[in-house]
Each structure stands twice: as structure tokens, then as C-alpha cells.
Amino acid sequence: MATSRSDALVLFGVTGDLAHKMIFPALYAMAKRGVLKVPVVGVAFPKWTLAHLRKYVTDSVKRSGGIDNQRAFHHLLSLLSYVGGDYNEPATFTAIKTALGRARRPAHYLAIPPSLFGTVIKGLGAADLADHARVIVEKPFGRDLASARELNRIAHAVFPEDSIFRIDHFLGKEAIMNILYFRFANSFLEPVWNRNNMASVQITLAEDFGVENRGAFYETAGCLRDVIQNHLFQVVALLAMEPPAYRGYGAVHSEKAKVFQAMRPLKPENVVRGQYTGYRKEPGVAKNSDVETFCALRLFIDSWRWEGVPWYLRSGKCLAETATEVLVELKPPPQRLFADSATETGLGNYLRFRLSPSSAVALAARVKRAGKEFVGEQRELYLAEEQPGEEAPYERLLADAMAGDGALFTREDAVEAAWAVVDPVLNSHNRTRPYRRGSWGPHEADALIAADGCWHNPKAGTAPGGN
């Protein structure tokens, strides 16, 4: 069991896209805050020199926002070293041990293709690089239930569970953390947060761009695996979980796992898969590809609190906006006293969590207009907004993992329970439906939700949109 702060960071995949876009800027931010004080050993296949790596890091930091603290930046560069080699070769791990020097509690970050996770973990074990160490594993953790179980088996043969950090950068976002705080710090929510008062829950993660240069990766994943099974399921768990018995992250993990275990396994009729026009022409994509770039599903949680409440999740690329939003709609009052109490769109009172690009929590309620007539309109009350100076997700998660704080990471039982929900439809599903770039996905997604209303499309502004 690793209980002390990591005394080195070994970054596998240091020459990759993830490192360039996310990890190096996070390390620079940590250096500016004075919390990065350990060696950073970069590992990858190319035979780079240290000078080449430093140039790559410099380019990354400049592109992500620029170098505004020369002292911190040069401190980051001074911590770097590089090991080039094949992950299948024992000599590579011997070289890593040499580069670590006196460090005895490294954190090994696997920013590499999922197919290599097992290879590297076994290599760490064989080279005695796992004792008192931690391993940080990027998503996706497996590609189905069987592979997730196998990867857990391999990881547990080398590391104890509390030294395995399954990273999902979504959990490091301030807006996601605020869902947990907002739910359990406010007493007015609990009386209505159940099947008796909730009509439905919608979660949308939309992107207005395509797969860009990740076509080959997307062919191995698809939207259901890449976004919904991990990112959106984590949001569902925070919204649906029971109050933890205490504030410790172990209690939170246990309650989240119970939500996944209570989810009804999906059937093909619960899922709509779409593919934007032109996807098959993207580099690395098969000409007859049936991989989904859009996915919508109807989900039920068979628990005392949520029995019968439909949860609608959707995500896609090349949609009309880039935004992530949760909309929890309440049931209408039992008696309709006022003729206009039902809005034109049919949307009743709701609670809205805006997760990106801006952050907000809003409550919608009807208020009377001035005059003798009992006529009103629905308005939003803002309860929270984005705060300046918040940590970026990778900065927060890297620091937490190196400190041994597992609060924002995913536990083994939760990973496997989430895969069990989607496993029945990973291979048994309807074909993808085409949809136009800039739209909100295929029309079949509208039919999926029709029994409970319609999708409420996030807008660039603050209020939820209609169709």
C-alpha cells in the first residue's frame, strides 16, 4: 500500500497527443503553484533526446496559453528526463529504474493506447518498479465487461487497489464536483429528489466538431464507449446516489457503485446510434464503418428512489453546439389552478446544471406578471456560476494521484458495474442512422424520448433551448 506522496512521475506516452494537449500544461500549472518538486521521467518508443523532449514541452505550454512564469517553466524543464524504448522489452524498464535514481515511490502514468496497459503494468511488476508505487490508468479502462475484468486482474497482480488510479478527467471538473456538493449541502433538495417528484432527467454532452485526427482511435471506441459509459455515467451516479455515510471518498465510491449496480442493462430498443455525414471520409475510418459518433439512450435505475424515472443520455460530435448540461424536470403540481401553468414547450419547473463551456446551477420557476390577470412566465434563478482561478482537471487529478487521494478516481467495482449496463448492446444493436453536421443528431433520438417530452438543447446562452 502506497501511503506517502509520490517522489517521481513516470509518464508513459510522453511523445503522444494527450501529453502535448493536457498533461504538460497541467505540469506547468503545478510548477507555477509550487507543488511539482519531483523528477518527471518521460517514456516512449521514439529515440528522442532530452533536448527534443524539452522542445516538445515548450511547444505544448506555448500553445496552451503561453509561458507567463519563466522561473516555473525552467523548473519544469529541469525536472525532465527521457527513456526511449519498446514497452515489450525488459531493457526499457531497466532504463526507467536507472532514470528514477533514488526515487522509491513513483507514480506511473499510462497515457498510452489501452491495448498497451497490460503490457506496461506487467513490465513494471517484473522490473520491481511497483513496490510502494502507484499506477494512473487513462480511460477507457477496458472496452467491455470481460476486458475490464481482465485488466483489473492484471493490475491487481502487481498493484493493490488503493494504488490504482483510474483517471477520468471529467471527474476533475469543478462543475462536476459541484453536483455532489450542491446535492448534499442543501436540505431543500432531499424532499423532492425522488421518483415522487421527478419527471425525467436529461444529460447532454454535445460537441460541434468531428473526430478530427482521431479517426483510427474512434473506430476502436465509438461514442458509447468513449463518452457515455464513463463521463455521463459518472454524472448519473452523482445525481442518483444515496447520501454517503461519511465524507470520506470511500463512502462516496460505495454509493456510486450501488447506482451502477442498480442500472437496468440496456437493450437495443433503448439505444439510438448515429453517424455524422462525412465521418467515413475521415482519415483512419473504414469506408463502410458502422461506428457511432452520436449515441442517445433511455436508462432506468431500479432503486427505491428512482424506480420508474427515465434518464435520457446523449452525446455526439458535429452537433449544433459544444456544451454539457443536465436538466432535471419536476412533475407538475397535482392541480392546475392557472391556465398558463403548462409552458408552450411543455417544460415544467426544472433544475439545471450547466457543466460547460460555462458553469452554472439554475432553478426554473414560474412567476406572475404584473397586472390583475393570473398570467406568468418561467424564469431562472441562478444559484452558482463559474469561479475564476479554478484548477484544470488534469492539474487537480495529477496532484491528487501523486498525493494518494483517490476521491476523484473510479473504483474497480464501479468500472465493472458500468460495463455490465452497456455490455448487452456493444455488439447487439441497430445500425447507425445518418445525421447532418450542425444538427442535434438523427431523428430517431427524438422518437426515443417522445413519451416523456422532447430533448432540451443547450444553447450558447443561459436558458435551455427547445427543438
Q: Is 75 a catalytic residue?
A: no
Per DSSP bridges, beta strands 106-110 and 80-84 are unpaired
- The single-letter code of the amino acid at 49 is T
Starting at the edge strand that comes first in sequence, how are the strands of the sheet with 350-356 ordered? Answer: 376-385, 360-368, 350-356, 323-330, 198-206, 311-316, 294-299, 271-276, 433-435
pLDDT of residue 3: 59
**Contacts of residue 16, Cβ cutoff 8 Å, sequence gap at least 6:** 44, 111, 112
**Contacts of residue 107, Cβ cutoff 8 Å, sequence gap at least 6:** 6, 8, 9, 10, 133, 134, 135, 136, 401, 402
Could you tell me the CA-to-CA distances from 214 to 231, 279, 282, 398, 403 in Å, in that order?
18, 11, 9, 24, 32
Taking only the tens place, the pLDDT of each residue in 107-126 is 999 999 888 999 999 999 99
3-state class (DSSP) for residue 119:
helix
**Contacts of residue 420, Cβ cutoff 8 Å, sequence gap at least 6:** 145, 260, 265
- Hey, what's the cell of 65? 496559453
Taking only the tens place, the pLDDT of each residue in 181-213 is 899 999 999 999 999 999 999 999 999 999 988
Residue 354: other Cβ atoms inside 10 A: 23
DSSP string, 224-282: IIIIIIIIIHHHHHHHHPPPPSSSSHHHHHHHHHHHHHHBPPP-GGGEEEEEETTGGGS
Cα–Cα dist 292/279, whole Å: 10
- Hey, what's the cell of 137? 490508468
The separation between CA 3 and the C-alpha centre of its own chain, rounded to angstroms, equals 26
pLDDT of residue 146: 95
pLDDT of residue 160: 95
Residue 213: other Cβ atoms inside 10 A: 11
pLDDT of residue 367: 75
Q: Residue 106, preceding bond cis, omega within 30 degrees?
A: no
- Hey, what's the cell of 203? 444529460
| Grouped pLDDT means (10 residues each) for the chain, 467 residues | 81 95 96 96 96 97 94 97 97 97 96 93 97 91 93 96 89 84 90 94 96 88 93 95 85 93 97 97 95 97 97 98 94 72 65 89 80 74 70 89 90 93 95 97 96 86 47
pLDDT of residue 399: 93
Half-sphere exposure (Cβ direction) of 273: Cα atoms closer than 13 Å? 19
Burial group, residue 335, by CB count within 10 angstroms (0-12, 13-18, 19+): exposed
- The single-letter code of the amino acid at 150 is E
Question: Among 145, 195, 136, 126, which Cα is nearest to 166's?
Answer: 136
Taking only the tens place, the pLDDT of each residue in 228-287 is 998 999 999 999 999 998 877 788 899 999 999 999 999 999 999 999 999 999 999 999
**Which residue among the candidates 20, 108, 169, 231 is catalytic per the annotation?**
231
pTM attached to this predicted model: 0.90
pLDDT of residue 308: 96
3-state class (DSSP) for residue 320:
coil
Cα–Cα dist 156/150, whole Å: 10
pLDDT of residue 116: 94
Could you tell me the CA-to-CA distances from 135 to 41, 177, 371, 376 in Å, in that order?
14, 23, 65, 56
Q: Residue 140, preceding bond cis, omega within 30 degrees?
A: yes
Spell 15-46 as b/e; 16+ CB within 10 A means b: beebbbebbbbbbbbbbbeeebebbbbbbbee
Cα–Cα dist 263/271, whole Å: 15
**Contacts of residue 51, Cβ cutoff 8 Å, sequence gap at least 6:** none
